[in-house]
Copies of this chain bind each other. A is one copy, B any other.
Amino acid sequence: MKQYFPSVSAVKYEGPQSRNPLAFKRYNAAEKVAGKTMREHLRFSVAYWHTMKGTGSDPFGAATLPRGWNRAADPMQQAEDTLRAAFEFFTKLGVDYYCFHDRDIAPEGESLRESNARLDRMVSLAKKLQADTGVGLLWNTANLFSHPRYANGAATNPDAAVFAHAASQVKKMLEVGLELGATNYVFWGGREGYDTLLNTDLKRELDHLAAFLRMAVDYAKKIGFKAQFLIEPKPKEPTKHQYDFDAGTVIGFLKSYGLDGHFKLNIENNHATLAAHTFQHDLTVASAHGMLGSVDANQGDLLLGWDTDQFPTDLYGTAYAMLVILGQGGLAPGGLNFDAKVRRASVDPEDLFIAHIGAMDAFAHGLKVAARLIDDGVLRDFLERRYASYDAGIGAAIEAGKADFAALEAHALEHGEPEPRSGKQEMLENIVNQYLLGMQ
Protein backbone atom coordinates (compact mmCIF):
# COMPACT_ATOMS: atom_id res chain seq x y z
CA MET A 1 0.00 0.00 0.00
CA LYS A 2 1.11 3.50 -0.78
CA GLN A 3 2.84 5.21 2.17
CA TYR A 4 2.41 8.91 2.75
CA PHE A 5 5.09 9.12 5.42
CA PRO A 6 7.65 6.71 4.01
CA SER A 7 10.53 8.19 6.00
CA VAL A 8 8.83 7.77 9.36
CA SER A 9 8.52 4.46 11.19
CA ALA A 10 6.33 3.73 14.17
CA VAL A 11 7.32 6.20 16.87
CA LYS A 12 9.02 4.55 19.85
CA TYR A 13 9.73 5.51 23.43
CA GLU A 14 13.46 6.15 23.85
CA GLY A 15 13.55 7.97 27.18
CA PRO A 16 14.48 11.48 28.37
CA GLN A 17 18.01 11.54 26.98
CA SER A 18 17.11 10.62 23.42
CA ARG A 19 18.05 13.18 20.80
CA ASN A 20 15.85 11.61 18.18
CA PRO A 21 13.15 14.13 17.30
CA LEU A 22 10.95 11.27 16.13
CA ALA A 23 10.98 9.36 19.42
CA PHE A 24 9.02 9.76 22.62
CA LYS A 25 11.05 10.95 25.61
CA ARG A 26 8.29 10.91 28.23
CA TYR A 27 5.30 9.12 26.77
CA ASN A 28 5.63 5.42 27.36
CA ALA A 29 2.21 4.06 26.43
CA ALA A 30 2.31 0.91 28.53
CA GLU A 31 3.92 2.44 31.60
CA LYS A 32 1.68 2.42 34.64
CA VAL A 33 1.02 5.61 36.53
CA ALA A 34 -1.43 5.70 39.42
CA GLY A 35 -2.82 2.30 38.58
CA LYS A 36 -3.41 2.68 34.87
CA THR A 37 -1.24 2.80 31.79
CA MET A 38 -0.42 6.16 30.29
CA ARG A 39 -2.42 5.14 27.23
CA GLU A 40 -5.50 4.51 29.35
CA HIS A 41 -5.14 7.79 31.19
CA LEU A 42 -4.40 10.04 28.27
CA ARG A 43 -6.67 8.74 25.50
CA PHE A 44 -4.93 10.80 22.83
CA SER A 45 -6.77 11.73 19.68
CA VAL A 46 -5.66 13.35 16.41
CA ALA A 47 -7.74 16.18 14.95
CA TYR A 48 -8.43 15.41 11.31
CA TRP A 49 -9.08 19.04 10.30
CA HIS A 50 -5.69 20.35 11.35
CA THR A 51 -3.43 17.38 10.83
CA MET A 52 -4.87 16.02 7.60
CA LYS A 53 -6.70 18.99 6.11
CA GLY A 54 -4.68 21.96 7.38
CA THR A 55 -2.90 23.80 4.59
CA GLY A 56 -1.00 26.50 6.41
CA SER A 57 -3.09 29.27 4.90
CA ASP A 58 -3.91 32.23 7.09
CA PRO A 59 -5.77 35.51 6.52
CA PHE A 60 -2.63 36.98 4.98
CA GLY A 61 -1.34 34.12 2.97
CA ALA A 62 -1.88 31.02 0.89
CA ALA A 63 -1.32 27.35 1.65
CA THR A 64 2.26 26.49 2.51
CA LEU A 65 2.16 22.84 3.54
CA PRO A 66 2.92 20.25 0.87
CA ARG A 67 0.87 17.11 1.51
CA GLY A 68 1.10 13.94 -0.47
CA TRP A 69 -2.56 13.15 0.03
CA ASN A 70 -4.22 16.22 -1.42
CA ARG A 71 -2.91 16.00 -4.95
CA ALA A 72 -5.58 13.99 -6.70
CA ALA A 73 -7.71 16.03 -9.08
CA ASP A 74 -10.88 14.16 -8.16
CA PRO A 75 -12.13 15.35 -4.77
CA MET A 76 -13.38 11.93 -3.74
CA GLN A 77 -10.04 10.37 -4.62
CA GLN A 78 -8.36 13.07 -2.58
CA ALA A 79 -10.71 12.30 0.31
CA GLU A 80 -9.86 8.63 0.15
CA ASP A 81 -6.11 9.29 -0.06
CA THR A 82 -6.42 11.58 2.92
CA LEU A 83 -8.26 9.00 4.97
CA ARG A 84 -5.67 6.37 4.23
CA ALA A 85 -2.85 8.77 5.05
CA ALA A 86 -4.64 9.61 8.29
CA PHE A 87 -4.74 6.02 9.46
CA GLU A 88 -1.08 5.60 8.52
CA PHE A 89 -0.37 8.65 10.68
CA PHE A 90 -2.50 7.46 13.61
CA THR A 91 -0.89 4.07 13.71
CA LYS A 92 2.68 5.26 13.27
CA LEU A 93 2.14 7.82 16.00
CA GLY A 94 0.45 5.28 18.22
CA VAL A 95 -2.74 7.07 19.18
CA ASP A 96 -5.99 5.27 19.80
CA TYR A 97 -8.48 7.91 18.65
CA TYR A 98 -9.29 10.53 16.07
CA CYS A 99 -11.98 13.20 15.57
CA PHE A 100 -13.49 14.77 12.44
CA HIS A 101 -16.17 17.05 10.97
CA ASP A 102 -18.39 15.80 8.17
CA ARG A 103 -16.72 18.07 5.62
CA ASP A 104 -13.22 16.97 6.68
CA ILE A 105 -13.60 13.44 5.45
CA ALA A 106 -15.97 14.02 2.53
CA PRO A 107 -16.19 17.13 0.37
CA GLU A 108 -19.51 18.95 0.26
CA GLY A 109 -21.47 18.20 -2.92
CA GLU A 110 -23.80 20.28 -5.04
CA SER A 111 -26.75 19.29 -2.89
CA LEU A 112 -27.36 17.95 0.56
CA ARG A 113 -28.22 14.61 -1.00
CA GLU A 114 -24.91 14.43 -2.83
CA SER A 115 -23.00 15.56 0.24
CA ASN A 116 -24.62 12.79 2.25
CA ALA A 117 -23.86 10.21 -0.39
CA ARG A 118 -20.22 11.22 -0.42
CA LEU A 119 -20.15 11.03 3.32
CA ASP A 120 -21.60 7.52 3.26
CA ARG A 121 -18.88 6.36 0.93
CA MET A 122 -16.13 7.73 3.13
CA VAL A 123 -17.72 6.49 6.34
CA SER A 124 -17.71 3.02 5.02
CA LEU A 125 -13.98 3.27 4.30
CA ALA A 126 -13.39 4.77 7.75
CA LYS A 127 -15.23 1.88 9.33
CA LYS A 128 -12.99 -0.57 7.56
CA LEU A 129 -9.82 1.32 8.49
CA GLN A 130 -10.94 1.54 12.12
CA ALA A 131 -11.48 -2.19 12.18
CA ASP A 132 -8.12 -2.83 10.51
CA THR A 133 -6.16 -0.66 12.91
CA GLY A 134 -8.08 -0.60 16.15
CA VAL A 135 -8.12 3.19 16.08
CA GLY A 136 -11.48 4.47 17.32
CA LEU A 137 -13.55 7.58 16.85
CA LEU A 138 -13.37 9.75 19.96
CA TRP A 139 -15.96 12.13 18.56
CA ASN A 140 -17.40 13.45 15.37
CA THR A 141 -19.14 16.74 14.64
CA ALA A 142 -20.73 18.71 11.84
CA ASN A 143 -19.06 21.70 10.21
CA LEU A 144 -21.72 24.39 10.54
CA PHE A 145 -19.42 27.35 9.97
CA SER A 146 -17.41 27.11 6.75
CA HIS A 147 -20.09 27.21 4.10
CA PRO A 148 -21.35 30.70 3.15
CA ARG A 149 -24.89 29.69 4.11
CA TYR A 150 -23.73 29.82 7.73
CA ALA A 151 -22.38 33.38 7.54
CA ASN A 152 -25.12 34.50 9.93
CA GLY A 153 -25.16 31.37 12.07
CA ALA A 154 -26.48 27.83 11.83
CA ALA A 155 -28.96 27.02 14.63
CA THR A 156 -29.03 30.75 15.39
CA ASN A 157 -29.44 31.88 11.81
CA PRO A 158 -32.23 34.42 11.26
CA ASP A 159 -33.35 32.25 8.36
CA ALA A 160 -35.22 29.07 9.33
CA ALA A 161 -34.12 27.45 6.09
CA VAL A 162 -30.53 27.58 7.29
CA PHE A 163 -31.58 26.12 10.63
CA ALA A 164 -33.15 23.27 8.70
CA HIS A 165 -29.99 22.74 6.69
CA ALA A 166 -27.90 22.65 9.85
CA ALA A 167 -30.32 20.20 11.42
CA SER A 168 -29.94 17.93 8.41
CA GLN A 169 -26.19 17.93 8.73
CA VAL A 170 -26.28 17.08 12.41
CA LYS A 171 -28.91 14.41 11.85
CA LYS A 172 -26.62 12.77 9.36
CA MET A 173 -23.61 13.02 11.63
CA LEU A 174 -25.46 11.44 14.53
CA GLU A 175 -26.12 8.51 12.23
CA VAL A 176 -22.46 8.50 11.21
CA GLY A 177 -21.36 8.59 14.84
CA LEU A 178 -23.56 5.58 15.54
CA GLU A 179 -22.16 3.76 12.54
CA LEU A 180 -18.55 4.40 13.52
CA GLY A 181 -18.99 3.80 17.22
CA ALA A 182 -18.13 7.33 18.33
CA THR A 183 -18.12 7.59 22.09
CA ASN A 184 -18.85 11.32 22.08
CA TYR A 185 -20.44 13.89 19.82
CA VAL A 186 -19.34 17.54 19.85
CA PHE A 187 -21.20 20.77 19.22
CA TRP A 188 -18.98 23.77 18.56
CA GLY A 189 -21.01 26.82 17.69
CA GLY A 190 -18.55 28.42 15.34
CA ARG A 191 -21.02 30.94 13.97
CA GLU A 192 -23.57 30.77 16.79
CA GLY A 193 -23.18 34.32 17.99
CA TYR A 194 -23.38 37.80 16.58
CA ASP A 195 -21.27 40.52 15.02
CA THR A 196 -23.49 43.40 16.04
CA LEU A 197 -26.50 43.61 18.32
CA LEU A 198 -28.00 46.11 15.87
CA ASN A 199 -29.13 43.27 13.65
CA THR A 200 -29.57 40.57 16.30
CA ASP A 201 -32.44 39.32 18.45
CA LEU A 202 -30.27 37.64 21.07
CA LYS A 203 -33.13 36.09 23.01
CA ARG A 204 -34.77 34.57 19.97
CA GLU A 205 -31.45 33.18 18.79
CA LEU A 206 -30.76 31.55 22.16
CA ASP A 207 -34.20 29.97 22.07
CA HIS A 208 -33.46 28.57 18.63
CA LEU A 209 -30.13 27.19 19.77
CA ALA A 210 -31.81 25.41 22.66
CA ALA A 211 -34.50 24.04 20.36
CA PHE A 212 -31.78 22.71 18.06
CA LEU A 213 -29.94 20.95 20.86
CA ARG A 214 -33.14 19.46 22.18
CA MET A 215 -33.93 17.98 18.78
CA ALA A 216 -30.42 16.52 18.63
CA VAL A 217 -30.96 14.85 21.99
CA ASP A 218 -34.28 13.46 20.78
CA TYR A 219 -32.88 12.20 17.53
CA ALA A 220 -29.91 10.48 19.14
CA LYS A 221 -32.30 8.75 21.50
CA LYS A 222 -34.52 7.75 18.64
CA ILE A 223 -31.71 6.05 16.74
CA GLY A 224 -30.03 4.63 19.82
CA PHE A 225 -26.85 6.66 19.58
CA LYS A 226 -25.58 6.71 23.14
CA ALA A 227 -22.49 8.89 22.77
CA GLN A 228 -21.87 11.59 25.35
CA PHE A 229 -22.96 14.96 23.92
CA LEU A 230 -20.41 17.71 24.41
CA ILE A 231 -20.55 21.47 23.94
CA GLU A 232 -17.27 23.23 23.26
CA PRO A 233 -17.15 26.78 24.59
CA LYS A 234 -15.37 29.58 22.75
CA PRO A 235 -15.86 33.27 23.44
CA LYS A 236 -15.24 34.89 20.07
CA GLU A 237 -13.77 34.24 16.65
CA PRO A 238 -15.13 33.94 14.10
CA THR A 239 -18.06 35.99 15.45
CA LYS A 240 -17.54 38.98 17.70
CA HIS A 241 -19.50 37.32 20.46
CA GLN A 242 -20.15 33.59 20.58
CA TYR A 243 -23.03 32.38 22.71
CA ASP A 244 -20.99 29.50 24.14
CA PHE A 245 -18.56 32.01 25.67
CA ASP A 246 -16.99 29.84 28.37
CA ALA A 247 -17.75 26.95 30.71
CA GLY A 248 -19.76 29.09 33.13
CA THR A 249 -21.89 30.61 30.39
CA VAL A 250 -22.61 27.28 28.71
CA ILE A 251 -23.56 25.65 31.99
CA GLY A 252 -25.91 28.56 32.69
CA PHE A 253 -27.43 28.25 29.24
CA LEU A 254 -27.97 24.51 29.60
CA LYS A 255 -29.57 24.97 32.99
CA SER A 256 -31.79 27.79 31.73
CA TYR A 257 -33.19 25.51 29.07
CA GLY A 258 -33.26 22.34 31.13
CA LEU A 259 -30.66 20.68 28.93
CA ASP A 260 -27.92 20.17 31.49
CA GLY A 261 -28.65 16.49 31.97
CA HIS A 262 -27.81 15.76 28.36
CA PHE A 263 -24.54 17.58 27.79
CA LYS A 264 -21.05 17.81 29.16
CA LEU A 265 -18.30 20.16 28.04
CA ASN A 266 -15.34 19.79 25.76
CA ILE A 267 -12.85 22.30 27.16
CA GLU A 268 -10.16 23.74 24.93
CA ASN A 269 -7.15 25.47 26.41
CA ASN A 270 -6.92 28.20 23.77
CA HIS A 271 -10.65 28.89 23.99
CA ALA A 272 -10.42 29.26 27.74
CA THR A 273 -7.58 31.75 27.48
CA LEU A 274 -9.39 33.76 24.78
CA ALA A 275 -12.17 34.05 27.37
CA ALA A 276 -9.61 35.49 29.81
CA HIS A 277 -9.51 32.34 31.90
CA THR A 278 -6.75 29.86 32.54
CA PHE A 279 -7.16 26.42 31.01
CA GLN A 280 -7.24 25.06 34.54
CA HIS A 281 -10.08 27.41 35.43
CA ASP A 282 -12.44 26.24 32.75
CA LEU A 283 -11.53 22.61 33.41
CA THR A 284 -12.23 23.14 37.11
CA VAL A 285 -15.53 24.91 36.55
CA ALA A 286 -16.72 22.13 34.25
CA SER A 287 -15.48 19.44 36.60
CA ALA A 288 -17.04 21.08 39.67
CA HIS A 289 -20.41 20.77 37.92
CA GLY A 290 -19.71 17.17 36.99
CA MET A 291 -19.62 18.29 33.39
CA LEU A 292 -16.04 17.91 32.23
CA GLY A 293 -16.42 15.46 29.39
CA SER A 294 -13.44 15.83 27.11
CA VAL A 295 -10.54 18.13 26.31
CA ASP A 296 -9.23 19.84 23.21
CA ALA A 297 -5.59 19.74 24.10
CA ASN A 298 -3.72 22.65 22.62
CA GLN A 299 -2.35 25.96 23.80
CA GLY A 300 -2.61 29.56 22.69
CA ASP A 301 -0.37 32.56 22.87
CA LEU A 302 -1.60 34.78 25.65
CA LEU A 303 -0.14 37.83 23.98
CA LEU A 304 -2.15 37.23 20.80
CA GLY A 305 -5.88 37.75 20.51
CA TRP A 306 -6.81 34.88 18.26
CA ASP A 307 -6.94 31.12 18.39
CA THR A 308 -3.42 30.00 17.53
CA ASP A 309 -4.12 26.31 18.18
CA GLN A 310 -0.54 25.47 19.06
CA PHE A 311 0.54 22.05 20.24
CA PRO A 312 0.46 21.87 24.03
CA THR A 313 4.04 21.82 25.25
CA ASP A 314 3.82 24.07 28.29
CA LEU A 315 4.48 21.69 31.16
CA TYR A 316 2.60 23.81 33.68
CA GLY A 317 -0.45 23.62 31.46
CA THR A 318 -0.32 19.85 31.11
CA ALA A 319 0.37 19.30 34.81
CA TYR A 320 -2.47 21.56 35.95
CA ALA A 321 -4.83 19.96 33.45
CA MET A 322 -3.96 16.46 34.61
CA LEU A 323 -4.51 17.52 38.23
CA VAL A 324 -8.12 18.30 37.38
CA ILE A 325 -8.56 15.24 35.18
CA LEU A 326 -7.06 12.79 37.68
CA GLY A 327 -8.99 14.61 40.38
CA GLN A 328 -12.26 13.60 38.77
CA GLY A 329 -11.16 10.06 38.01
CA GLY A 330 -10.28 10.53 34.37
CA LEU A 331 -11.92 11.68 31.17
CA ALA A 332 -13.37 8.50 29.68
CA PRO A 333 -15.39 8.24 27.51
CA GLY A 334 -13.73 11.56 26.58
CA GLY A 335 -10.07 12.02 25.80
CA LEU A 336 -7.31 14.44 24.92
CA ASN A 337 -7.83 15.56 21.35
CA PHE A 338 -4.99 17.57 19.81
CA ASP A 339 -6.92 20.46 18.31
CA ALA A 340 -3.60 21.91 17.26
CA LYS A 341 -1.81 22.69 14.07
CA VAL A 342 1.80 22.98 13.04
CA ARG A 343 2.95 26.53 12.31
CA ARG A 344 2.59 27.45 8.65
CA ALA A 345 6.37 27.61 8.29
CA SER A 346 6.72 24.03 9.57
CA VAL A 347 6.57 22.65 6.07
CA ASP A 348 8.21 19.27 6.58
CA PRO A 349 5.64 16.45 6.80
CA GLU A 350 7.67 15.04 9.69
CA ASP A 351 6.90 18.23 11.60
CA LEU A 352 3.42 16.75 12.05
CA PHE A 353 4.95 13.86 13.95
CA ILE A 354 7.37 16.03 15.89
CA ALA A 355 4.58 18.31 17.00
CA HIS A 356 2.38 15.48 18.24
CA ILE A 357 5.30 13.79 19.94
CA GLY A 358 6.16 16.93 21.87
CA ALA A 359 2.58 17.31 23.00
CA MET A 360 2.25 13.67 24.01
CA ASP A 361 5.49 13.89 25.96
CA ALA A 362 4.29 17.06 27.65
CA PHE A 363 1.05 15.40 28.73
CA ALA A 364 2.88 12.28 29.85
CA HIS A 365 5.08 14.43 32.05
CA GLY A 366 2.07 16.41 33.27
CA LEU A 367 0.38 13.14 34.16
CA LYS A 368 3.33 12.00 36.24
CA VAL A 369 3.67 15.33 38.02
CA ALA A 370 -0.04 15.39 38.82
CA ALA A 371 -0.03 11.78 39.97
CA ARG A 372 2.89 12.42 42.30
CA LEU A 373 1.32 15.57 43.71
CA ILE A 374 -1.89 13.68 44.37
CA ASP A 375 -0.10 10.64 45.75
CA ASP A 376 1.91 12.78 48.18
CA GLY A 377 -1.25 14.66 49.11
CA VAL A 378 0.54 17.96 49.52
CA LEU A 379 -2.12 20.05 47.87
CA ARG A 380 -5.04 18.05 49.26
CA ASP A 381 -3.70 18.22 52.81
CA PHE A 382 -3.23 21.96 52.50
CA LEU A 383 -6.78 22.41 51.25
CA GLU A 384 -8.24 20.26 53.98
CA ARG A 385 -6.54 22.30 56.64
CA ARG A 386 -7.50 25.54 54.96
CA TYR A 387 -11.24 24.78 54.93
CA ALA A 388 -11.32 22.81 58.19
CA SER A 389 -13.47 25.43 59.91
CA TYR A 390 -16.38 24.23 57.76
CA ASP A 391 -16.06 20.67 59.01
CA ALA A 392 -17.51 21.40 62.44
CA GLY A 393 -19.30 24.01 64.49
CA ILE A 394 -20.68 27.09 62.82
CA GLY A 395 -18.98 26.18 59.53
CA ALA A 396 -20.68 22.81 59.38
CA ALA A 397 -23.97 24.50 60.20
CA ILE A 398 -23.46 26.83 57.25
CA GLU A 399 -22.82 23.92 54.91
CA ALA A 400 -25.79 22.00 56.27
CA GLY A 401 -28.12 24.96 55.70
CA LYS A 402 -28.75 25.20 59.44
CA ALA A 403 -27.22 28.60 60.12
CA ASP A 404 -28.93 31.93 59.57
CA PHE A 405 -27.81 35.55 59.73
CA ALA A 406 -28.93 35.93 63.33
CA ALA A 407 -26.91 32.94 64.47
CA LEU A 408 -23.91 34.07 62.49
CA GLU A 409 -24.09 37.55 63.94
CA ALA A 410 -24.21 36.07 67.42
CA HIS A 411 -21.15 33.98 66.57
CA ALA A 412 -19.28 36.99 65.21
CA LEU A 413 -20.13 39.14 68.22
CA GLU A 414 -18.97 36.43 70.56
CA HIS A 415 -15.73 35.48 68.82
CA GLY A 416 -14.44 38.85 67.67
CA GLU A 417 -11.98 39.44 64.87
CA PRO A 418 -10.93 36.30 62.95
CA GLU A 419 -7.27 35.41 62.92
CA PRO A 420 -5.43 36.26 59.65
CA ARG A 421 -4.12 33.19 57.82
CA SER A 422 -1.65 33.15 54.94
CA GLY A 423 -2.88 31.88 51.58
CA LYS A 424 0.65 30.50 50.98
CA GLN A 425 0.51 31.04 47.23
CA GLU A 426 4.28 31.39 46.87
CA MET A 427 4.97 28.26 48.89
CA LEU A 428 2.55 26.24 46.77
CA GLU A 429 4.03 27.56 43.53
CA ASN A 430 7.49 26.57 44.73
CA ILE A 431 6.24 23.07 45.47
CA VAL A 432 4.78 22.78 41.98
CA ASN A 433 8.17 23.70 40.53
CA GLN A 434 9.82 21.00 42.60
CA TYR A 435 7.40 18.36 41.35
CA LEU A 436 7.65 19.64 37.81
CA LEU A 437 11.39 19.07 37.91
CA GLY A 438 11.04 15.60 39.24
CA MET A 439 10.75 15.49 43.03
CA GLN A 440 10.27 11.90 44.08
Contacts and interface: CB of A to CB of B under 8 A. Distances in A.
A252 B241 contact: no
A236 interface: yes
Contacts of A246: 245, 249
A117 interface: no
A7 interface: no
Q: Which of A148, A208, A214, A351 neighbours the largest number of chain B CB atoms within 10 Å of its CB?
A: A148
A71 to B, nearest CB: 16
Contacts of A59: 58-59, 237-238, 306
A379 B197 CA distance: 10
Interface string A121-133: 0000000000000
A151 B201 contact: no
Contacts of A276: 235-236, 275-276, 303
Given A252-B255, A255-B255, A430-B358, A167 B422 contact: no
A171 interface: yes
A335 interface: no
Nearest to A163: B398
A304 B236 contact: yes
A417 B248 CA distance: 36
Interface stretch (A34-42, A82-90, A91-99, A307-315): A307-315
Contacts of A301: 240
A198 interface: yes
A29 interface: no
Contact of A394 (B112, B160, B171, B434): B160
A427 to B, nearest CB: 5
A199 B439 contact: no
Contacts of A430: 21, 313, 354, 357-358, 361
B195 A425 contact: yes
A394 B172 CA distance: 19
Interface residues of A, number: 160
Interface string A183-224: 000000011000111111111101110010011101100000
A262 interface: no
A280 interface: yes
B425 A199 contact: yes
A193 to B, nearest CB: 11
A119 to B, nearest CB: 13
Contact of A198 (B160, B191, B379, B403): B379
Given A151-B56, A206-B288, A288-B203, A422 B348 contact: yes
Contacts of A351: 422, 424, 426-427
A187 to B, nearest CB: 14
A404 B171 CA distance: 10
Contact of A62 (B147, B236, B240, B406): B147
A219 B406 CA distance: 8
A77 interface: no
Q: Which of A17, A64, A355, A422 neighbours the largest number of chain B CB atoms within 10 Å of its CB?
A: A422
A395 B17 contact: no
A394 B152 contact: no
B171 A240 contact: no
Interface string A265-293: 00000000111111011001100110000
24 contacts: A60-B145, A111-B416, A151-B345, A152-B421, A160-B389, A161-B419, A164-B394, A164-B408, A167-B409, A171-B408, A197-B280, A199-B382, A204-B387, A219-B405, A236-B276, A241-B281, A248-B252, A249-B249, A251-B252, A252-B255, A252-B256, A351-B422, A358-B426, A365-B437
7 residue pairs, one from A and one from B, having the closest CB atoms: A305-B305, A252-B252, A160-B395, A345-B423, A167-B408, A358-B430, A302-B302
Given A168-B408, A215-B403, A365-B437, 10 more contacts: A60-B146, A66-B420, A151-B420, A159-B421, A165-B412, A203-B288, A218-B404, A236-B303, A240-B304, A361-B430
